[in-house]
Structure 1
Amino acid sequence: MTTFRIQKKDRPPIDPFTIQEGEIIIAASHEEFGLAHGNYEEFRFFTGLRQSEQIALTAL
C-alpha cells in the first residue's frame, strides 16, 4: 500500500511580511477599526502570535 505524504520539498517557502509591509497593515488597521484593534494587531505582528493564540489572550 502506497501513501502520499507532503514533504518539506513539496511545501512553498515561507514568505513573511517585511517590517514596511507590517507597518502598512497596522496603519490601515488603526484607520479602519480604531486604536484598540490596531494596537491588538500590532502586538500580534511583532510578537509572532498565531490568530488562535491571540484570541485566547485574556486581560488580567
Structure 2
Amino acid sequence: MLGWILLFFIIALIAGVMGFGGVAGAAAGIAQILFFVFLVLLVVSLVSHLMGTRRRGP
C-alpha cells in the first residue's frame, strides 16, 4: 500500500510541476486517503497482534 501512496504522490508532483492543477489535486487527495487507510490498518494490525494469544513452546 505504501507503493501506491508513493506512486500517487509522484504523479501529483509531476502534474503540479507541469501545471495540471486538477490532476495534481486529485492525485494528492488519493494519496492522502490511501495514507490514512494504511495508518488505520497498521494500528488494527498492531492491536490485534498485541491482544492475540501467545503461543507457548513445547
**Normalising TM by the smaller chain, what interval?**
0.3 to 0.5
Q: TM-score, normalised by structure 1?
A: 0.36
Q: TM-score, normalised by structure 2?
A: 0.37
